[in-house]
Chains A and B, each alone.
Chain A
Amino acid sequence: MNTGQFVLGAAASLALLSGTAGAEDLTVWTLNYSSNAQVNALKASEAEFEATHPGVNLEIVMRGTDEHKTALRVAAGSDTGPDIYFMWAGLGLGGEYVKAGLSRDLTEYYEKYGWDDRVSVPSLAFVESFGAGKHGMPYRFTGEAIYYNKTLFEQAGITAEPTTYDELVAAAEKLKEAGIAPITFGGTVNWHVMRLMDVLLETKCGPDTHDVLMEMRADWSTTPCATEAFTELDMWARNYILSPFMGIDQKQSASLFFLGRAAMMLEGDWHVNPINENADIANFGLFPFPTGADRLYGFAEYLYISSKTDKADLAAEYLDMFTTTAFQDQIKGAFGALSVNKEVKLGDDALDLHKEWITIFDAADGTFVNGDQAFPLDVTTEYFRIINEVASGNMDPQAAADAMQQFIGNRA
């Protein structure tokens, strides 16, 4: 190596080092998604942000649900962790982080960027629910409804989508008589069967009573509709859920649905892409679970800026970019039918099921969230256990309602 090469090499190394030292890292922790469309959308946000922010290195870390929750708790006790983190917006999840002071108040950014005007009203429902100021930026707002296999419905002689709970039960009975498993759930992931219990509570109790039960302000053991909902859950488990189901998870359950082994599945609007990627989407239809009320079953997911970050401005710029009309238009449909940006509409080329979802969102009058978002974590764990006991035929409905109330009572 001559002197010239040495000097050139040293200069290049110095430049590289100074470039590295000057780079600003921004870390986002979120879930790993099963749909390619969702993963690609996140990668697109990374590319877009880095392109508009030279010198910034955006790292999106994706983990499984439980691993994500655990990693956040561990990070909460240390000085390391993400600048932005994903969390469901309900009381037992995102709400707990807000209450613990781990979410930065974003009021100044809401004002600076005009997010209140940009984001749809239902998705903002939890922004001011759990702490002073505004916490979290809506990332997506989802609904859950019944997907069904049109061919299997035809085989069972079902000619119209059920619009009442009785019609749904009648349809399930027809399917069963035709030798078709009416609906599928995966029991190992507790939250899947929970969805059925949630909608049965809404059906049997109505919105007001359902809400006070979930807020633990009503006595489960003496509220008749709670026992009735458990009774219905028992009935569905005995008669209409593709069995065995306690030993399979949601993914296995979805595979069975794609393969036509069951006629219905209670899933969110995010399920359109997996159906499209794994089956003939033209063969699938959609209708809201007929609870008798007009509320939509669904929840919001937020991106929170950590109270520990010293890059709040940069983090807010990412949230702003992610929710702009231009970027949301670019990824529309990836995370579900509805963009959190109210200006973004699905195009004519959107999947039919996504278009149906928009109709469902438009027709909804309010929302009710999943049980695991409504309850604190310990109550959620007990709710899961009791639901599984009833679904396994090991606990009768009144005992289930009593057990719920006993656990809630013991907390006090």
Chain B
Amino acid sequence: MVLRSNSLHAYRTEALVLLAPAFAIYTVFAIWPMIEVVILSFQRWNGLSADRAWAGLQNYRHIFTADPVYWMAFRNTVLWTIMSVIFPPVVGLLLALGLNQKLFGRGSLRAIYYLPVIIAPIAVATMWRWMYDPFFGLFNQVLTNLGLQAWIADWLGDRSIALYSMFVAYTWQHVGFSMVLFLAGLQGVEYSLVEAARIDGANRWQVFRHVTLPALQVTITIVIVLSTISSLKAFDIIYGMTGGGPAQSTQMLALWAFTQSMQIFDFGRGSAISVTLLAITLAIVVPYLRWTQKREAASE
């Protein structure tokens, strides 16, 4: 018994020693900045002055009641998140299902579809901005050549379509990420179960619905959680493509927080926006994770 206790103690010490450097780094570069942002959200600071005046809830009151952009950014962020948890995962799943078959050049195709994921978002933004150029861009040139001049649009300058134009670029970049996760998940689907279902007369849809999809439950949870987090903090591609314009119509909470802090230099309001974004993220992700954990526990 004493021996077991000593060995447990040794394991714990070893674990603590191994975790300590990572924890220290995480504390300095992640936890402390988060705490700092929360504190800043109750202060007024322009980034230049040494003094940070206490502002109480003024920053929150301003962004909720007097900021002409906050609610537009909020709406766009919600819309973007909903689209992000639907389209890239669905397209990624379809690609994964296709590329899980024994196709010629399957490896190359997987690499090609994954390639955009490794490109820096700002480079993706630049590339797509040029393709969307209303005068010389690829899309309008193709439409012109096809005689579809009526379809020509100011893809990033028309507020009614700018957000969706950016989302196409975002989907193009992120679909490969979902695809890879689903491909990994598909490797865990028992082939014997698929065979058994087929022998029992199940068609392709029924096999997918009742065998493949349940086996992908964990992967789906991971993809949705990661897609949600990634979409809520969408920044680079919007910064690079429209900068939140035209007239702040494609503004998002993450970019608006940056704009307030690093362009308007009102760090208090920028931090308050960041805190609301953090709260929204937690409000979505935590209940979803708890719900899926309960479902998994119930199914075991």
The chain A residues found within 8 Å of chain B, CB to CB, are 66, 69-70, 73, 76-77, 96-97, 100-102, 187-188, 190, 243-248, 252, 256, 261, 377-378, 381-382, 385-386, 388-389, 392, 394, 403, 407, 410
Contact = CB atoms under 8 A, between A and B. Distances in A.
A408 to B, nearest CB: 11
B66 to A, nearest CB: 4
Contact of B157 (A248, A261, A382): A248
B259 interface: yes
Contact of A73 (B48, B66, B242): B48
Interface string B247-286: 1100000000001001111100000000000000000000
Contacts of A245: 157
Given A247-B158, A388-B246, 18 more contacts: A76-B48, A102-B48, A246-B157, A246-B158, A247-B132, A247-B134, A247-B154, A247-B155, A248-B135, A248-B157, A377-B265, A378-B264, A378-B266, A381-B259, A381-B263, A388-B247, A388-B248, A410-B66
A377 B264 contact: yes
Interface of B: 46-49, 62, 66, 68-69, 132-135, 153-159, 162, 242-243, 245-248, 259, 262-266
A187 B245 contact: yes
6 contacts: A66-B263, A246-B157, A246-B246, A385-B247, A388-B248, A389-B247
Nearest to B251: A385
A407 B153 CA distance: 32
A246 to B, nearest CB: 3
A360 B159 CA distance: 39
Nearest to B262: A70
B264 A247 contact: no
Contact of B48 (A96, A378, A389, A410): A96
Contacts of B247: 385-386, 388-389, 392, 394
Contact of A394 (B133, B156, B159): B159
B133 A252 contact: yes
A69 B262 CA distance: 8
A100 B263 contact: no
A356 to B, nearest CB: 29
A394 B245 CA distance: 13
A91 to B, nearest CB: 14
A392 B159 contact: yes
A69 B69 CA distance: 22
Contacts of B155: 247
A23 to B, nearest CB: 31
Contact of B47 (A77, A378, A382): A77
B245 A388 contact: yes
Contacts of B248: 385, 388
Contacts of B265: 73, 96, 377
B264 to A, nearest CB: 5
Nearest to A102: B48
Contact of B134 (A69, A76, A244): A244
Nearest to A245: B157
A327 to B, nearest CB: 32
Nearest to A376: B264
B44 to A, nearest CB: 12
Contact of A261 (B46, B135, B158, B263): B135
A389 B265 CA distance: 23
A76 B47 contact: yes
B48 A188 contact: no
Contact of B135 (A66, A246, A252): A252
Given A252-B133, A377-B264, A381-B263, A244 B154 contact: yes
A180 to B, nearest CB: 15
Q: Which 9 residue pairs are nearest across A and B when measured between Cβ atoms?
A: A247-B157, A246-B157, A244-B154, A100-B48, A388-B247, A247-B156, A246-B246, A410-B66, A247-B154
Nearest to B135: A256
A96 B265 CA distance: 11
A345 B156 CA distance: 45
Contacts of A407: 68
Contact of B243 (A96, A101, A188, A403): A188
Contacts of B132: 247
Contacts of B47: 73, 76-77
B68 A248 contact: no
B122 to A, nearest CB: 12
B173 to A, nearest CB: 20
Nearest to B153: A244
A246 B245 contact: yes
B153 to A, nearest CB: 8
A381 B261 CA distance: 13
Given A248-B135, A385-B69, A188 B157 contact: yes
A245 B158 CA distance: 9
B57 to A, nearest CB: 16
A261 B136 CA distance: 12
Contacts of A386: 247
